[in-house]
Amino acid sequence: MKHVKTLNTQTLNHTVKKGGCGECQTSCQSACKTSCTVGNQVCEQKK
Amino acid sequence: MALIHQYRNNGYHIVLDVYSGAVHVVDRLCYDVIRGLREQNEDQTAESLADPRTAEELLRFLGQAYSSEDILDALCEVRELTEAGRLFTRDVYEPYIDEVKKRKTVVKALCLHIAHDCNLACRYCFAEEGEYHGRRALMSYEVGKKALDFLIANSGNRRNLEVDFFGGEPLMNWQVVKDLVAYGREQEALHGKHFRFTVTTNGVLLNDEIQDFINAEMDNVVLSLDGRKEVNDRMRPFRNGKGSYDLIVPKYRRLADSRNQERYYVRGTFTRDNLDFSEDVLHMADLGFRQISMEPVVGQETDPYAIRSEDLPRIFEEYDKLARIMVERERSGKGFQFFHFMIDLEGGPCVAKRLSGCGSGTEYLAVTPWGDLYPCHQFVGDEKFLMGNVDEGVKRPEIADAFRECSVYSKEKCRNCFAKFYCSGGCMANSYHFHGTIHDAYEIGCEMQRKRIECAIMMKAALAE
């Protein structure tokens, strides 16, 4: 594309069916403790 | 409804399609084309974009600024993205929320308040110098052991279990920490579990022996430091008023190096007394730290150090400045991680995780020194949220149910927010402390969160060049 560069190839909705295993880290646990940041977490299945 | 967020930052034109999660870096023309199309109809579809009337209206809207050929060319690309499900996508998750809420949750993480006592007297401490509106106390080995047993018993098929040794200051009760880690390791094989232990410390009591143990056993260690010496020592003094910087910084540097600059954070808090906090982050980077976190303080309006809404423009400038400098440093091989600018656009968490948030009250519980259970460390001491104890387990499941109900769809303020799948509705404790309900949002925190996400995405765009 001439006008657009897309930074990611995956879309969120593909995770609806296979997601939700619950093995990922608890979001507040490791570094913040006073906010909630989920978008920076790594999916345990993709590690 | 579709939800698109467009913004400019550091010379980049960025378009975030919220429901697909697609992030597009576009030129100015395409940015304006998308803006024009949204003004016509926020819910464009591949069909409406192919309608000649859409093109005609767009040409009227932008014809003064760009050539017709260029506008139609960009429109064609926008249509391609829309057909591919990467722009103007609809919310397909709201029906899914019931499934997420109904799912059986297990307890997978505990915050063990190993010591309700502290050897520092930080002025902004939500734990009130470790005491949490209560008395000074250290967790006994017996209580800690019961907490680990409770976690194992309530964790279902979940293999990875997280235990954070928190306080107060956990190093003031170090022998119990060591004994509990040993107990946890014994139990792992018996129950097919794996413990991920972490510790959050102010560093005062850190020594070689503790460092070796942390390196052998702890998946992560959070080291509290607010940045520059004068900033740190103003907010993080000993009880006699003396600053802590000179004592802790050499120990932190040794510890970070001994862990190969991995699996740790130096973690600071900024207040309205150091709104130039990017200097503190950079100071910590210049000290050699590669994993840095810096949180805005959360305080009531009456606290002199609390962030106020009038501080936000200044804070946004600081985040912008920090992001620009981090890009430069990364390009020159001197990069470092800043927790709040980390974003995984490609392999981030699944939608279920993004909908369900931090897990407090359901998957994550805090345990007091005497074994009481609370939804998270920030509710400790508030009897309304006392859920049970390690002897009898959860006695008030209605509290867990209330937390399970909480999601980006239960909060009106989240409905049209572009950041909702990155913060998952924000911190429920902050919501409760500002609005008296977990189903609201702390607006100042939201504003900062949105800014950080914008900066994080801009950095991805810059570093993808």
pLDDT at site B81 = 98
Candidate from A25, A35, A43 with C-beta closest to B350: A43
What are the backbone dihedrals phi and psi of residue B277, each rounded to the nearest 5 degrees, phi first? -65, -15
Is any Cβ of chain A less than 8 angstroms from the Cβ of B298?
yes
B324 band by pLDDT with thresholds 50, 70 and 90: very high
Q: What is the DSSP string of B238-252?
A: -TTS-BSHHHHHHHH
- CB contacts of A46 in chain B (<8 Å) are 347
From chain A, pick out residues whose CB is under 8 angstroms from the CB of B20: 11-13
CB contact under 8 A, B349 and A1: no
B189 touches chain A (CB under 8 A): no
DSSP labels, B134-172: S--EE--HHHHHHHHHHHHHT-TT--EEEEEEEES-GGG
DSSP annotation of B370:
T
Mean predicted confidence (pLDDT) in B243-248: 98
Question: Which chain A residues touch B296 with a CB distance below 8 Å?
Answer: 35
The secondary element (H helix, E strand) that includes residue B184 is helix B174-191
Strands (DSSP E) found in B74-217: 109-116, 137-138, 160-167, 194-201
Nearest to A11 among B22, B24, B106 (CB): B22
CA B50 and chain centroid, separation: 41
Residue whose structure tokens are 């309006």? B301
Measured between alpha carbons, how far is B366 from B372 in angstroms, rounded to an integer?
Answer: 8
Contact check, Cβ <8 Å, A8/B346:
yes
pLDDT bin (cut points 50, 70, 90) of residue B307 is very high
Greater confidence, B72 or A33? B72
Sequence-ordered list of residues with C-beta below 8 angstroms from that of B330, at least 6 positions apart, any chain = B459, B463
Per-residue pLDDT, A39: 74
- For residues B223-245, give the mean pLDDT: 97
pLDDT at B88 over 70: yes
pLDDT at B333 over 90: yes
Q: Look at residue B20 in the predicted model and tell me its pLDDT.
A: 95
Write down the pLDDT at residue B137.
94
- The predicted pLDDT at position A41 comes to 77
Q: What is the mean pLDDT of chain B?
A: 95
- Band (pLDDT 50/70/90 cuts) for residue A31 is low
Average pLDDT over residues B377-403: 96
A9, A20, A36 ranked by CB distance to B358: nearest: A36
Q: What percent of chain B has pLDDT above 70?
A: 100
Q: What average pLDDT score do residues B217-225 get? A: 96
pLDDT for residue B44 is more than 80: yes
pLDDT at B126: 79
- Supply the ipTM of this predicted assembly: 0.91
**Is the pLDDT score of B113 beyond 70?**
yes
Express as a percent the part of chain B with pLDDT over 90.
Answer: 87
- For residue range B347-370, what is the model confidence (pLDDT) as tens digits? 788 888 888 788 899 999 999 999
In this prediction, residue B80 carries a pLDDT of 98
DSSP tag of A43:
P
The CA distance from A2 to the nearest CA of chain B, in Å, is 8
pLDDT on residue B361: 94
Summarised one tens digit per residue, pLDDT across range B120-173 is 999 998 777 777 778 899 999 999 999 999 999 999 999 999 999 999 999 999
Give the predicted TM-score (pTM) of the model: 0.95
CA atoms B186, B191, B192, B198: torsion sign: negative
Query: Is there a contact between B86 and A6 if contact means CB atoms under 8 Å apart?
Result: yes
Q: What pLDDT was estimated at residue B366?
A: 96
